[in-house]
RNA sequence: GGCCCCAUCGUCUAGCGGCCUAGGACGUAGCCCUCUCACGGCUAAAACGGGAGUUCGAUUCUCCCUGGGGUCACCA
């Protein structure tokens, strides 16, 4: 039988990385087995509806290459794929469940429920529905229904015994039934809760493997009870532990470290993000780390998913992003870096020159402007910058060096890397000095910074002849 | 608090009773390369949470403790 997995996000307006990872695993599992990956939108909570959120989901999936085989935007044999459009389906199945004795009508209003909960909390009991409407007579129900009293349909959990299910990563899990709550299946607005909708939809859509976060682990027994009541085949479960910021902390939307979009605007490559989150909680079993989507599809195995929560390590993401950046061609790099160049440099420069300096020195594109902050304007720097122990330079001998450098550069018409390079090396050789004695002062005079992407020669090329000479003269002035 | 689950370097992990003197990667430190920084190369420090068992032998199996995570909504 063909495997079918699904990604079933709520349209919340942003793509949490933990969520994206779940989508990735669902995609990988399906594709590894040659199966289908389905997208379903879980929008049964109208209060949480966010405009444009669904488009963001499409965009993210398309951008990362997690292409779905069925979904609201492309259709399929099991639609509709948006839960709010499946309203009538749920009602029918909820009523079927009532007939089967696995669910019941409940007419309790919010006030009563709050009161019950309050009392339970006071008594330090776990808060559960007290079963007030569990055994209403047929007459009572008919009467209230006819009178138009708002109602919900609740699951009727057995009061004794226990329920066991098998998870592909966690193994056998058993929960005592009396710790399970009679949750609402169908809300008073006629829409289902997640608890119900996911079971009905997964069955109707023929989903064979359910990949989701471990927050559903403790409610899965209830879902199994539902499958059993319907007489439906129970799917395979794959629960994934959460992604944490650090021990005891969650990734936060506010701090900009929780969503895929957050990382994209900071200049992380989509493939790098995908690669990193794949490894956050999954291992291919060997030492491979840099893997393309296709390679991950090949290597994917549920057995490699880890059970404990994983802490999001920005350092490792940075490294992986750097690896991907280094594998970019110079042209590709320039294309992605262009918006950052435009932001950082107003002066007319050869962007390919910038790229050749930056491509090995960039971990994420957002770092670029800071690296280039000396291009437009020479920063005000201290003469002490000319002192470098290893280069054996001081402000004094740097002045001498700059005074020697200036006329030589003035005489260069062919302002290119090799020409400048040869002239500077020749100068050092003829003076019987180490290259650094010439090049360190040059770089400082041109940049005014202790660290720069590239050396003095590269910077001279980028700045051009006129600006370079000007900065060297200013250096001489500063040191005189 | 009840219930469920988890536990290897700081972090992500390999390990599925002897191949473990516990492997890899990030990060950290040092060295090399070198006009700074970075890239690249090399080296180093760094872990089986604690206690009982089972076994000829436990990182690997069982139990307890501790620590961590999840869940207890007409949210998903």
Q: How far is the CA of A358 from the C1' of B5 (A)?
A: 46
Asked whether residue A190's C-beta has any atom of DNA/RNA strand B within 7 A, the reply is no
Dump pLDDT digits (tens) for A344-395.
999 999 999 999 999 999 999 999 999 999 999 999 999 999 999 889 999 9
pLDDT at A436: 93
Q: How far is the CA of A219 from the C1' of B71 (A)?
A: 8
Rounded Cα distance between A365 and A343, Å, is 12
Catalytic residues of A: 253
pLDDT at A209: 98
Hits for CB < 7 Å against strand B across A residues 318-347: 318-319, 322-323, 326
Burial category of A429 from C-beta neighbours within 10 Å (exposed 0-12, middle 13-18, buried 19 and up)? exposed
Q: What is residue A475's three-state secondary structure?
A: helix
Q: How far is the CA of A309 from the C1' of B69 (A)?
A: 7
Rounded Cα distance between A44 and A227, Å, is 20
Nucleotide of closest approach to A287 (CA, C1')? B24
Instruction: Evaluate whether A160 touches A177 at the Cβ level (below 8 Å).
Output: yes
Which residue is closest, via its CA, to the C1' of B70?
Answer: A215
DSSP string, A288-336: -----HHHHHHH--GGGB-SS-EE--HHHHHHHHHHHHHTS-HHHHHHH
pLDDT at A338 over 70: yes
Asked whether residue A311's C-beta has any atom of DNA/RNA strand B within 7 A, the reply is yes
**Between vectors from CA A207 to CA A104 and to CA A74, what angle results, nearest 5°?**
110
User: In terms of DSSP bridges, do strands A152-155 and A249-250 run parallel, antiparallel, or are they unpaired?
Assistant: unpaired
Percentage above 90 pLDDT, chain A: 89
Rounded Cα distance between A444 and A418, Å, is 20
Instruction: Evaluate whether A177 touches A157 at the Cβ level (below 8 Å).
Output: yes
Q: Say which DSSP state A391 is in.
A: T
Nucleotide of closest approach to A198 (CA, C1')? B76
Rounded Cα distance between A38 and A82, Å, is 12
Nucleotides of strand B lying closer than 7 angstroms to a protein CB:
1-8, 10-16, 23-27, 34-40, 68-76
Instruction: Evaluate whether A133 touches A154 at the Cβ level (below 8 Å).
Output: yes
Asked whether residue A316's C-beta has any atom of DNA/RNA strand B within 7 A, the reply is yes
Instruction: Evaluate whether A225 touches A102 at the Cβ level (below 8 Å).
Output: yes
pLDDT at A136: 92
Q: What is residue A104's three-state secondary structure?
A: strand
**Between vectors from CA A204 to CA A202 and to CA A206, what angle results, nearest 5°?**
65
Rounded Cα distance between A274 and A277, Å, is 5
pLDDT at A408 over 80: yes
Average pLDDT rounded to a whole number, residues A409-413: 94
Hits for CB < 7 Å against strand B across A residues 31-90: 42, 44-45, 48
pLDDT at A466: 95
**Between vectors from CA A224 to CA A219 and to CA A225, what angle results, nearest 5°?**
100
Rounded Cα distance between A95 and A274, Å, is 42
Higher pLDDT, A1 or A429: A429
Q: How far is the CA of A450 from the C1' of B13 (A)?
A: 38
Dump pLDDT digits (tens) for A119-169.
888 887 778 899 999 999 999 999 999 999 999 999 999 999 999 999 999
Q: Say which DSSP state A136 is in.
A: -
Q: Say which DSSP state A41 is in.
A: B
pLDDT at A258: 84
Rounded Cα distance between A181 and A154, Å, is 9
pLDDT band at A407 (very low <50, low <70, confident <90, very high): very high
Asked whether residue A210's C-beta has any atom of DNA/RNA strand B within 7 A, the reply is no
Dump pLDDT digits (tens) for A60-97.
999 999 999 999 999 999 989 999 999 999 999 999 99
Q: How far is the CA of A185 from the C1' of B75 (A)?
A: 13
Nucleotide of closest approach to A318 (CA, C1')? B26
Instruction: Note if the bond before A80 is cis, omega within 30 degrees.
Output: yes
Hits for CB < 7 Å against strand B across A residues 86-105: none
Q: How far is the CA of A362 from the C1' of B3 (A)?
A: 49
Dump pLDDT digits (tens) for A205-260.
999 999 999 999 999 999 999 999 999 999 999 999 999 987 678 887 777 778 99
pLDDT at A247: 67
pLDDT at A317: 97
Nucleotide of closest approach to A192 (CA, C1')? B74
Dump pLDDT digits (tens) for A3-57.
999 999 999 888 999 999 999 999 999 999 999 999 999 998 777 777 789 999 9
Rounded Cα distance between A23 and A27, Å, is 6
Nucleotide of closest approach to A280 (CA, C1')? B12
Q: How far is the CA of A403 from the C1' of B74 (A)?
A: 81
Q: In the predicted model, what is the mean pLDDT of chain A?
A: 94
Average pLDDT rounded to a whole number, residues A407-426: 94
Q: Strand order of the sheet with strand A236-240?
A: A36-39, A4-7, A209-213, A236-240, A162-167, A171-176
Rounded Cα distance between A361 and A214, Å, is 39
């Amino acid at each position: 039988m063909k495997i079918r997995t699904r990604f079933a996000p709520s349209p919340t307006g942003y793509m949490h990385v933990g969520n994206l990872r779940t989508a990735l695993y669902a995609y990988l599992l399906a594709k590894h087995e040659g199966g289908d990956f389905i997208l379903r939108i879980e929008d049964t909570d109208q209060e949480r509806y966010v405009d444009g959120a669904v488009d963001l989901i499409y965009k993210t999936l398309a951008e990362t290459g997690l292409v779905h085989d069925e979904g609201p935007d492309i259709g399929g044999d099991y639609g509709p794929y948006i839960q709010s459009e499946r309203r009538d389906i749920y009602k029918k199945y909820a009523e079927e469940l009532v007939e089967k004795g696995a669910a019941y009508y409940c007419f309790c209003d919010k006030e009563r429920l709050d009161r019950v909960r309050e009392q339970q909390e006071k008594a330090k009991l776990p808060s559960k529905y007290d079963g007030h409407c569990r055994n209403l007579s047929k007459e009572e129900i008919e009467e209230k229904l006819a009178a138009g009293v708002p109602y919900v349909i609740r699951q009727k959990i057995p009061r004794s015994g226990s329920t066991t299910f098998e998870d592909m990563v966690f193994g056998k899990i058993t929960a005592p039934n009396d710790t399970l709550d009679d949750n609402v299946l169908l809300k008073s607005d006629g829409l289902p809760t997640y608890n119900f909708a996911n079971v009905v939809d997964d069955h109707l859509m023929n989903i064979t493997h359910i990949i989701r976060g471990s927050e559903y682990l403790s409610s899965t027994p209830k879902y199994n009870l539902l499958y059993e009541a319907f007489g439906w085949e129970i799917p395979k479960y794959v629960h994934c532990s959460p992604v944490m910021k650090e021990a005891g902390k969650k990734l936060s939307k506010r701090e900009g470290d929780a969503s895929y979009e957050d990382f994209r605007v900071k200049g992380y490559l989509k493939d790098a993000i995908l690669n990193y989150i794949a490894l956050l909680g999954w291992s291919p079993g060997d030492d491979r780390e840099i893997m393309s989507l296709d390679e991950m599809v090949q290597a994917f195995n549920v057995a490699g998913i880890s059970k404990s929560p994983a802490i999001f390590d920005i350092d490792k993401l940075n490294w992986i992003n750097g690896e991907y950046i280094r594998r970019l061609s110079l042209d590709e790099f320039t294309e992605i870096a262009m918006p950052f160049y435009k932001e950082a440099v107003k002066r007319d420069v050869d962007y390919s020159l910038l790229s050749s300096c930056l491509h090995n020195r960039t971990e994420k594109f957002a770092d670029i402007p800071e690296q280039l902050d000396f291009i437009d304007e020479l920063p005000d720097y201290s003469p002490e910058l000319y002192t470098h122990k290893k280069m054996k330079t001081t402000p004094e001998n740097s002045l001498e060096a700059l005074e020697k450098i200036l006329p030589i550069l003035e005489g260069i018409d062919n302002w290119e890397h090799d020409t400048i390079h040869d002239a500077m090396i020749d100068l050092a050789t003829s003076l019987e000095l180490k290259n650094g004695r010439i090049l360190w002062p040059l770089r400082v005079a041109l940049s005014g910074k202790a660290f720069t992407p590239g050396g003095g020669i590269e910077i001279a090329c980028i700045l051009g002849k006129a600006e370079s000479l000007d900065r060297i003269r200013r250096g001489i002035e500063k040191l005189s």
